[in-house]
Structure 1
Amino acid sequence: MLVSILSSIEGCMLLYSIEAPGTSPNTDGITVSVSNNITISSSTIGVGNDFVSIGPGSTNIYVSFVHWSSVGSLGKRSNCTINGTMNGVRVNTWSGAPPSSASNLVFENITMINVLNPII
């Protein structure tokens, strides 16, 4: 992971540019855990894995106006571009995760360019 947000309330990340080297294929861009009311907007995130990873105990995470090259998180997304990826939008889980839920997911105004699996 390149950036970690942990135990935060009402935070905002604007105008960030984050990029992992091509030799780092399993790197998350921003990891949000045990945090509430976090906004990530107007940024560019280029990573080999999840551009935003939302961990347990997080609620009301909003991501908008972001250009990314990988995805796999929960929340609300709008006005984004996904370019040159294997997968587009998805809700990603793993077997060791504690019980959790995802609700009120919104994917809107998303442009996909050269994406092999747009929705999974």
Structure 2
Amino acid sequence: MNPRFLAPILLLGSNIFMTFAWYGHLKFKSVPLKWAILASWGIALFEYCLQVPANRMGSDVYSAPQLKGMQEIITLLVFAVFSIWFLGQPLKWNHWAGFAMIIVAGWLIFLE
């Protein structure tokens, strides 16, 4: 598959894993912190198995700043769905407005 398309797909997958690693434990606050940390590290391993190849392959067609900008936008989109669906915490207008500004910043990164 073309790295131009494969990199964003892998970044999407890696961000799903990382969002669960970073924020999934918030739904299970009764679990001792040390177990939450270990579970998060275990989930993050899968994130790295997708993130590293995404950046390695993606660097053939995107610059490092473009890859980072793409990753941040994907992270926001994944987090928005995660916050609403998994955590039951809907986003407010100011969250959406802030995310929109970051998306505009990501768009600027791709201008040449």
* Structure with the higher fraction of residues in helix conformation: 2
Determine if the TM-score, normalized by the shorter chain, exceeds 0.5.
Answer: no
> For the superposition of Structure 1 and Structure 2, which TM-score range results when normalised by the shorter chain?
under 0.3
* Structure with the higher fraction of residues in strand conformation: 1
TM-score by length of 1: 0.23
Whichever of the two has the greater Rg, that structure is: 2
Higher relative contact order (CA 8 A, sep 6+): 2
TM-score by length of 2: 0.24
